[in-house]
Chains A and B, each alone.
Chain A
Amino acid sequence: MILAGGQGSRLLDLTRQTAKPAVGFGGKYRIIDFPLSNCVQSGIDTVGVLTQYQPLDLNEYIGNGDAWDLDRRNGGLFVLPPYQGSRRADWYRGTANAIYQNLNFVLKSAPQYVLILSGDHIYRMNYRKMLRAHVEKRAACTVATLRVAKEEASRFGICNTDEDGRIFEFEEKPKHPRSDLASMGIYIFNTDKLVSVLERDAENKASSNDFGKDIIPTMIQNGEAVYSYAFDGYWKDVGTVRSLWEANMDLLGREPRLGLNNGEFRIYSRNLSRAPQVIYRDADVKDSLISEGCRIGGSVHHSVLSCGVCVEKGAVVRDSVIMEDVVIKAGAVVTRAMIDRRAYVDRGVTVGDTAGTEITVVGKERMVTKEGIF
């Protein structure tokens, strides 16, 4: 079950009309491609995507799941928005509430285990390995965890485990973190256990119906077998403009921190077929990721370009993330910027701050001219 309903308000203009998981990343991908592809590559063939905020873009993108090989006769991909119906049905009030409202869907497939994921993390993980560990430990619930820097720890749910990996302490966003082991917001539950904890939680009026704040701590308090599964690959919660920009930059450099490869465990996405990239005579492309359909006549350094971007001769793009079909006219200088789809940067305009460290965001379809942004 992929929780893809969040607003992602810290992504500002990028999510004004789009749910966060539908935000573009890495040239031709969207954030949700990562959890979706991970599921398919891990052999999971039944996936529910819970949408809520501004779902139109996301729903259209997901479609029937065929781009991720999830259009199946048995199982497949299901988009699950909140719906009017019984007393229980309502807008999703929290991560646990969202799953609770969709229990009928879960039980219809009669699964033994339920994997709960967030739709807005960038990482590659084989969930089968986590499931194997869950089964070996005979856990009621397994939480995927990651070591984080002590300074970062207050942003996460922090766990403390014994030598066996069993979690005896769990604190959501603690002011004084007692360890550096953070929850990734990825859980595997035995189905019947999930049903019982969600039902009990639904009856608790004081609960915020959230996995990290309510479900997991309560389970631990009640002595349930909650185990940690240690993950040690690249993982990024791209909740802020800066972290999204950084994650894109992590795709570049001599040895990219995040590798996208074409071999096994590749990330799938839905993309319209485009023409090949055309690199013109005066182009100067270095240390960058360029997608199909781009036409480059200017200078592009250390940047990530999505499909169909046009950079005219004389334009300069540095340290930026440029989304689909953006046009950057001659003489424009774009630095440390995230420019959303179909925006237009006029001749000679400067976007972004060459001196500072701020990331400038230009929203979808905006026109940036010398007179201002329209």
Chain B
Amino acid sequence: MNTIGFVFSALRDEMQLPLTQNRTFAALPFACRYRLVDFPISSMVNAGISNINVIANYNYRSLIQHIGSGKDWDLARYTGGVHIMSPYQNAGRDRQGVYSTRREALLHMKDYIESMGESIAILSDCNCIANLDYRKMLETHIKNEAEVTIAVSENITGQRGEDGSRRLLPVCILSCSLLRQWLSYDGTGDDNLPVDILKKERSERRICTYTHSGYVAKIESMEDYFYHSIALTRNPEVAESLFGNGAQRIMTRTHNSTPTRYGERADVIDSLVADGCLIEGRLENSIVFRNVRIGRGSVVRNSILFAGTEIGSDTVLDCVICDKKVKIGSERILSGHITMPMYIQKGREV
């Protein structure tokens, strides 16, 4: 295939989510089974792209473990495959090592980019959750003879964004020669999105848009993350369209967990549940990752329980996000608010 993919695992270091304190943004778990990086990688694989570079930032151990050899995306290949490019210090800068713009990130890979054989590049961030059809987007790019194609959407919902920038998705297609050209410019302040650079030359460049008509969730805060997760439980058909099926499936790492067991007193509605769980209580509008246990008499509402969490019996959770392996005892009551979820750190015991 003539196209290469670049996925930026984290760019927004101003977005300090408690959830990303110990994991890079791309490794943020979402919707029971996935991590944010699964969406761009799967979309690329589904479009036939088999050479994908994930540019890592901080705390990317869980990202490496998640992606592994790329086998789960059928990317453990002799040619191409998925590669995690680690960041390294940019000597002479004030900041500690890691990049903060896409251009800086790609500059670390300058040699590779100079010599790569593909002619088209797709660049994507990880903060827009969507099942994009890159095949269509590439077709549009080629048909319009565009130099840059940027994805837009009318459907971005969330807490913020009023102006035109609201519609932009952090996904663009450009030719590799243009990419090399862009990298060779002298760095200035606004060298983030290719469009910023090319704004100056807009009249000379063909910049086109591709409209994605499906679901999009833009995650820029803890509230966004919570809002979009719970929204999936209120609109299960939307969830199904996001996860895709057949050739448009979002793929992720598989685990050999058992099927989930619902107990005799289980009472589950409007929820998404992964494998390996034991549910013996009430679950409402919640997202449950794998190997979670919910004891008898407990009620879990509007909450997100990451892998390995254990909730005792007769405990009530409302608007709570439990990170991995949290243990909440019996007869506890924990409550956040739908606009301000309560977050419990990984491994905490309550």
Within B21-39, the residues touching A (CB, 8 Å) are 31-33
Complex contact A281–B269 (CB within 8 A)? yes
Complex contact A279–B263 (CB within 8 A)? no
A324 → chain B, closest Cβ, in Å? 12
Best-surrounded residue of A28, A260, A275, A288 (most CB of chain B within 10 A): A275
How would you classify the secondary structure of chain A's contact residues: helix, strand, loop or mixed? loop
Within A244-270, the residues touching B (CB, 8 Å) are 251-254, 256, 260-262, 266-269
Distance, CA A277 to CA B270, complexed state (A): 11
CB-CB under 8 A from B272, the residues of chain A are: 276-279
CB-CB under 8 A from B258, the residues of chain A are: 26-28, 260-262, 266-267, 289
Distance, CA A140 to CA B164, complexed state (A): 81
B58 at the A interface (CB under 8 A): no
A269-312, CB under 8 A of B: which get 1 and which 0? 10101011111111101111111100100000000110000000
We find that the number of chain B residues with CB closer than 8 angstroms to chain A is: 37
Distance, CA A148 to CA B32, complexed state (A): 43
B249 at the A interface (CB under 8 A): yes
Complex contact B236–A277 (CB within 8 A)? no
B219-241, CB under 8 A of A: which get 1 and which 0? 00000000000000000100110
A19 → chain B, closest Cβ, in Å? 23
Within B255-278, the residues touching A (CB, 8 Å) are 256-266, 268-276
Q: A279-B273, A292-B274 are in contact. Are A286 and B240 (CB under 8 A)?
A: no
Distance, CA A269 to CA B258, complexed state (A): 10
B302 at the A interface (CB under 8 A): no
Complex contact A27–B259 (CB within 8 A)? yes
Complex contact A277–B273 (CB within 8 A)? yes
Within B272-298, the residues touching A (CB, 8 Å) are 272-276, 283, 291
Best-surrounded residue of B250, B256, B274 (most CB of chain A within 10 A): B256
CB-CB under 8 A from A260, the residues of chain B are: 258-259
B65 → chain A, closest Cβ, in Å? 17
B181 at the A interface (CB under 8 A): no
Distance, CA A188 to CA B269, complexed state (A): 50
CB-CB under 8 A from A288, the residues of chain B are: 261-262
CB-CB under 8 A from B251, the residues of chain A are: 273
We find that the number of chain A residues with CB closer than 8 angstroms to chain B is: 37
Residue of A nearest to B236 (CB): A278
A309 → chain B, closest Cβ, in Å? 11
B3-36, CB under 8 A of A: which get 1 and which 0? 0000000000000000000000000000111000
Best-surrounded residue of B33, B258, B269 (most CB of chain A within 10 A): B258
Partner of B268, one of A27, A266, A283: A283
B203 at the A interface (CB under 8 A): no
Complex contact A280–B249 (CB within 8 A)? no
Complex contact B259–A289 (CB within 8 A)? yes
Distance, CA A290 to CA B272, complexed state (A): 12
CB-CB under 8 A from A286, the residues of chain B are: 262-266
Distance, CA A351 to CA B250, complexed state (A): 34
Best-surrounded residue of A26, A261, A279, A285 (most CB of chain B within 10 A): A279
A-B contact count (CB 8 A): 106
B254 at the A interface (CB under 8 A): yes
Distance, CA A116 to CA B244, complexed state (A): 43
Distance, CA A290 to CA B259, complexed state (A): 6
Q: A27-B259, A262-B257, A291-B259 are in contact. Are A279 and B249 (CB under 8 A)?
A: no
Q: A278-B239, A278-B240, A295-B240 are in contact. Are A287 and B264 (CB under 8 A)?
A: yes
Distance, CA A275 to CA B240, complexed state (A): 8
B245 at the A interface (CB under 8 A): yes
CB-CB under 8 A from B291, the residues of chain A are: 262
Complex contact A273–B259 (CB within 8 A)? no
CB-CB under 8 A from A27, the residues of chain B are: 258-259
Distance, CA A290 to CA B273, complexed state (A): 10
Partner of B33, one of A276, A282, A287: A276
Partner of A269, one of B33, B256, B273, B274: B256
Complex contact A280–B259 (CB within 8 A)? no
Distance, CA A279 to CA B285, complexed state (A): 9
Complex contact A268–B265 (CB within 8 A)? no
Complex contact A280–B270 (CB within 8 A)? yes
Distance, CA A370 to CA B261, complexed state (A): 32
Complex contact B254–A273 (CB within 8 A)? yes
Complex contact B260–A290 (CB within 8 A)? yes
Distance, CA A276 to CA B256, complexed state (A): 14
Distance, CA A142 to CA B265, complexed state (A): 45
A256 → chain B, closest Cβ, in Å? 8
A64 → chain B, closest Cβ, in Å? 13
CB-CB under 8 A from B245, the residues of chain A are: 275
CB-CB under 8 A from A277, the residues of chain B are: 260, 272-274
CB-CB under 8 A from A292, the residues of chain B are: 33, 259, 274-275
B215 at the A interface (CB under 8 A): no
Complex contact B270–A26 (CB within 8 A)? no
Residue of A nearest to B261 (CB): A289
CB-CB under 8 A from B114, the residues of chain A are: none
A303 → chain B, closest Cβ, in Å? 10
Q: Which 7 A-B pairs have the closest CB atoms?
A: A27-B259, A276-B32, A275-B243, A291-B259, A260-B258, A276-B272, A277-B273
Contact surface of B with A, Cβ cutoff 8 Å: 31-33, 72, 236, 239-240, 243-245, 249-252, 254, 256-266, 268-276, 283, 291
Beyond A256-B261, A279-B269, A282-B269, 8 extra complex contacts between A and B, CB < 8 Å: A26-B259, A262-B276, A273-B251, A279-B273, A285-B268, A286-B262, A289-B262, A295-B236
Please, could you name 20 A-B residue pairs with CB atoms under 8 Å apart, sorted by A? A26-B259, A251-B261, A254-B264, A256-B261, A262-B256, A275-B33, A275-B244, A275-B245, A275-B250, A276-B243, A276-B274, A277-B274, A278-B271, A279-B271, A285-B266, A286-B263, A289-B262, A292-B33, A292-B274, A304-B259
